[in-house]
Amino acid sequence: MNVVVCVKQIPDPAAPPALEPGTNTLDRSGKLILDDSDAYGVEMALQLVDTAGGGEVTLVSMAPNAETGGLRTALAMGAAKAVLVSDPALKGTDALGTAKVLAAAIKTTQYDLILAATESTDGYTGTTPVQLAELLGLPSVTFAKSVAVDGMTVRVERQTEAGYDEVTVPLPAVVTVTAGVVEPRYPSFKGIMAAKSKPVDQLSVADLGLDGQVGQAGARQEIVDVAASESRTAGEIVVDEGDGAARIVAFLESVKAI
Amino acid sequence: MPVQTIWVLAEPTATGISTTSLELLTAARGLAATVEAISWGPNTAANATALGEHGATKVHDVGDLGAALPGVPVAAAIAELVGSGAPDAILIPTSGDGRDIAGRLSARLDRPVLTNVVGLIDDAGLVTEHAVFGGSLTVAAKFTGEGPGIFVIRAKSFAAEPSGGAPAEVVAISVPDTGATGLATISSSHAEERSGPSLDEAAIVVSGGRGLGEAPAYAMIEELAGLLHGAAGASRAIVDAGWVPYSHQVGQTGKTVKPSVYLAFGISGATQHLVGMKGSKAIVAVNKDRDAPIFSIADLGIVGDVHKVLPALIDALKNR
């Protein structure tokens, strides 16, 4: 079974984020790393291919620059190869434009199943995988907390407000996974060394025939204002000297919660 | 051009229409002359009263979907309806099914989506408000192309208020052939047992995170929530770790809560969590790390061990 995993390289969430002057889109000019949310899809894909007893995991990603550091992390986990759509014209692309790019790139690969995270950590739009499914004419199941493939059927436990639903869908399909789906492995030294020579195919927007549909203009939306939010100010912060519980009780009394 | 017509996705629940949907109807009637709902499931006729009370004059009923996941059939039906007369905007609640419907609809109509909207005003067209970087910045955005604009709006961005309108007129709409896309089906549903007030509506929310150390310690969170007649919540980290069900999750991908008091135990305060609770009236946090981001928004912060403070607090409340 061949599994495509959509992955995103994002600015390190540990570093303070910033908006670009002019467009007010997220500044992605610094070093990009593999979105932590994507490690779960990569791990799930590796396990499903392993269980199926054959096939491979292909990463599909897009970036406004030729960054591959994050892809190498996922290749080191065990993915076989990557397709990176890399083009300065992609700067400012929105969720639908991203789905168009990923759909076109995925059409160049062999796949039975497409996995993605429920949302990225930097943009958290959460619609790209479903937009992608619609563009590819595939069914989709989002918010998977478990995924199993049984012949040509995928069985998913999908998180719901009340609990979870058991959902079945025939292959090929798109499934988005939560961080509860599997525990990602750490890349081994051998994996890291092997990843250096794994193929990363780089495609441009023109290669995919998507000129004019992506980037800031293709997004058909603009940020018209950015302002500092009315901030909450920190109140009283105290070190517990055995009186922590009593302080909380006093606080709850003061706001008439008890 | 002023906003004329807004459609609101009215998500059915086991007992009626989701509160977020009613919030969006309330907001829509302040923005547009005509507000219509789109709903599905076996109970649309019964729900028409609540929809009308909150401002919808008409509800387009996709009907009973059987075992199908709602995303594909509902989006396909809405796309057909747009073909015979488009509104200025379609408002969709942030939820699993809401995001599925928004994504499918966006691709079908080839229209972009604005998600994580927390405010909406009419300023020569609809302008959205988004809280970014953990709520430290507010970004305003708008669509620049042809409509209808698709907006996915977070819970509790507006208050739901009845307007006293008559029951909405129920008009059936059909689902076109969706081919392979519509093949995902629900084979069984599992609801987790919960007691006490719901997380959405509780006046007091007590949440636990990774700092609790291990899953059994969450019992203290539930006990404290019970003593305070509140609801027990959780950070994404411990939901993902399988300690508690997803229905307890507070944050970006979980519930948005705005209780009178929010108590956070062993939660560091990742952006993902803060987005879901920073609207609380008062925040109390206990964490061993003085530099935890949660302390920057806490009214009372206790730097200490949750395994000491929680049992002492439970004892103190029991002895009151």
Give which of A157, A230, A252, A253 to mutate to test B binding, by max B Cβ within 10 Å: A252
Cα dist from B113 to A227, B27, B141, whole Å: 22, 18, 11
Cα dist from B39 to A46, A131, A202, whole Å: 39, 21, 44
DSSP 8-state class, residue B212: G
Q: What is the pLDDT of residue B190?
A: 93
- The answer as to whether A55 is a domain residue is yes
Q: What is the pLDDT of residue B53?
A: 97
Q: Which residue range is the domain that position A194 belongs to?
A: 3-219
| Residues in chain A with pLDDT values less than 70 | none
For residue B188, pLDDT over 80 is answered with yes
Beta-bridge partner residues of A3: A57, A113
For residue B193, pLDDT over 80 is answered with no
- The answer as to whether A118 is a domain residue is yes
Q: Is A103 helix (H, G, I), strand (E, B) or coil?
A: helix
Letter for the amino acid at B221?
Answer: I
User: Nearest CA to A252 among B98, B320, B105, B122?
Assistant: B320
Mean pLDDT of the B191-205 span: 86
> What is the least distance, in Å, from the CA of A197 to any CA of chain B?
33
> What is the least distance, in Å, from the CA of A62 to any CA of chain B?
18
Q: What is the pLDDT of residue B1?
A: 59
Compute the residue count for chain B. 320
Q: What's the CATH code of the domain at A80? A: 3.40.50.620
Q: Residue B182 in contact with residue B74, Cβ under 8 Å?
A: no
Indicate the average pLDDT of chain B.
95
CATH class of B204-318: alpha beta
- Which residue among A19, A96, A139 places its CB closest to the CB of B182? A139
Give the rounded distance of the alpha carbon of B287 from its chain centre.
Answer: 27
User: Nearest CA to A221 among B127, B266, B120?
Assistant: B127
Q: Is the peptide bond before B148 cis (omega within 30 degrees of 0)?
A: yes
pLDDT digits (tens, 9 = 90+) for B261-313: 999 999 999 988 998 999 999 999 999 999 999 999 999 999 999 999 999 99
Q: Is A146 helix (H, G, I), strand (E, B) or coil?
A: strand
User: Nearest CA to B206 among B182, B178, B234?
Assistant: B234
- In this complex, is the C-beta atom of A150 within 8 Å of any C-beta atom belonging to chain B? no
- In this complex, is the C-beta atom of A198 within 8 Å of any C-beta atom belonging to chain B? no
Query: How many Å apart are CA B90 and CA B98, to the nearest integer?
Result: 11
Task: Give per-residue burial for B272-301: e unless 16+ CB within 10 Å, then b.
Answer: bbbbbbbbbebbbbbbbeeebbbbbbbbbb
Strands A200-203, B185-191: pairing is: unpaired
- The answer as to whether A102 is a domain residue is yes
For residue B100, pLDDT over 70 is answered with yes
- In this complex, is the C-beta atom of A146 within 8 Å of any C-beta atom belonging to chain B? no
- The answer as to whether A252 is a domain residue is no
For residue B64, pLDDT over 70 is answered with yes
- The answer as to whether A237 is a domain residue is no
Q: Residue A147 in contact with residue A134, Cβ under 8 Å?
A: no
User: Nearest CA to A64 among A135, A11, A141, A17?
Assistant: A11
Q: Residue B220 in contact with residue A191, Cβ under 8 Å?
A: no
Cα dist from A203 to A28, A38, A52, A176, whole Å: 19, 21, 30, 24
Q: What is the pLDDT of residue A109?
A: 97
ipTM more than 0.85?
yes
Looking from the CA of A154 toward its CB, the CA atoms found within 13 Å total 32
For residue B189, pLDDT over 90 is answered with yes
Integer-rounded Cα radius of gyration of chain B: 21
Neighbours of A19 (CB within 10 A): 16
- The answer as to whether A80 is a domain residue is yes
Task: Please state which CATH number belongs to domain B5-182.
Answer: 3.40.50.620
Neighbours of A89 (CB within 10 A): 19
Which range (B11-20, B190-199, B269-278) has the least confidence?
Answer: B190-199
Looking from the CA of A244 toward its CB, the CA atoms found within 13 Å total 26
| Contacting residues of A for B316, CB less than 8 Å apart | 245-246, 249
Give which of B117, B139, B206 to mutate to test A binding, by max A Cβ within 10 Å: B139
Q: Is A254 helix (H, G, I), strand (E, B) or coil?
A: helix
Among all chains, which residue has been given the structure tokens 């500044």?
A27
pLDDT digits (tens, 9 = 90+) for B269-283: 998 899 899 999 999
Q: What is the pLDDT of residue A229?
A: 83
Compute the residue count for chain A. 258
For residue B195, pLDDT over 80 is answered with no
Q: Give me the DSSP letters along B115-158.
A: EEEEEEEESSSEEEEEEEGGGTEEEEEEE-SSS-EEEEE-TTSS
> Helices A128-136 and B96-109, interaxial angle, to 10°?
50
Q: Residues 6 or more apart from B164 whose CB is under 8 A from it? A: B53
pLDDT digits (tens, 9 = 90+) for A150-190: 999 999 999 998 889 999 999 999 999 999 899 999 999 99
- The answer as to whether A255 is a domain residue is no
Task: Report the domain count for chain A.
Answer: 1
| Contacting residues of A for B180, CB less than 8 Å apart | 137-139, 170
Q: Where are the domains of chain B?
A: 5-182, 204-318
Q: Based on the number of CB atoms within 10 Å of its own CB, is A208 exposed (0-12), middle (13-18) or buried (19 or more)? A: buried
> What is the least distance, in Å, from the CA of A58 to any CA of chain B?
23
- The answer as to whether A162 is a domain residue is yes
